[in-house]
Amino acid sequence: MKYIDSHVHLFVRAFREDFRDVLQRAQDAGVERMMIITTDAEEARRAMPFVEKDPYRFQLAYGIHPQRIDEVDDAMVREFDEIAEDPRITAIGEIGLDYITDRDHKELQKEVFIHSIEKAVSLNKPILVHSRKAIQDTYNIMKAHPARALMHSFPGSLEMSREFIKLGYYISYGGPATWLNVRHAREVVADMDLNYLLTETDAPYVTPEPFRGQRNEPCNLPYILRALASYRGMTEEALAEIVLQNYRRFLGEE
């Protein structure tokens, strides 16, 4: 089977010592394609020559993460705009709202989110959206500012998933969807139009069962897909093919 990791932080410090081994384990596990997420300019620039070598297997995203909102100034936004225009940047992300880590800069978070969406639309690039404890504000902004979008590690309810899908937005799940105490993911996947489902690891974070507590890697995707397939009562092979086609469509390849 071929697996899709639509959200992986491959260029963070956690992977520096065994970077090549991580890639080999992913390949051995059948991971076909990966969207590499970068959240600062230096990280994005380090990743650019890497993705250039194999643009089918590796895509690259860059965005101003909402957890960095206290660092934002005009210079950072100008730098974001410049990097976003680079052809090696496939997507803009992760961007969005996070009211857990910073409730004091909500309006600035919204301004940066909207600016990032508008920049992505002007470049015809998709976005990857982060939302924590901010799902209604996230929805309101995305309804008012439509884009080709993916909701990373979807945090919302069944009802909210239906509203995002009505707008044509993809929903992605990773390790938390395998955890025993996560109810919403099971409900959403069982109900949703599978043409809008994507998979991710968010590695090195949020490791799936049965490896929870360890560093996450793209090679853990089979465990995530297996859980999602079980929520639908379908084969892993059938779901893997759907996700692969969804990813191509998200990227604008179809």
pLDDT at residue number 181: 80
Q: How is the chain split into domains, by residue range?
A: 3-250
Q: Is the peptide bond before 94 cis (omega within 30 degrees of 0)?
A: yes
Residue 183 has a pLDDT of 83
pLDDT in tens, the chain (254 residues): 999 999 999 999 999 999 999 999 999 999 999 999 999 999 999 999 999 999 999 999 999 999 999 999 999 999 999 999 999 999 999 999 999 987 789 999 999 999 999 999 999 999 999 999 999 999 999 999 999 999 999 999 999 999 999 999 999 999 999 998 888 999 999 999 999 999 999 999 999 999 999 999 999 999 999 999 999 999 999 999 999 999 999 999 97
In the CATH scheme, what is the code of domain 3-250? 3.20.20.140
What's the predicted TM-score (pTM) here? 0.96
| pLDDT for position 235 | 98
Q: Is 205 exposed, middle or buried (0-12, 13-18, 19+ CB in 10 A)?
A: middle
Phi, psi of 185 (to 5 degrees): -60, -45
CB 173 within 8 Å of CB 3:
no
Q: Say what the pLDDT of residue 104 is.
A: 82
Burial of 48 (0-12, 13-18, 19+ CB in 10 A): middle
Cis peptide before 176 (omega within 30 of 0): no
The Cα–Cα gap between 195 and 14 comes to 33
Q: How far apart are the first and last CA of the chain?
A: 21
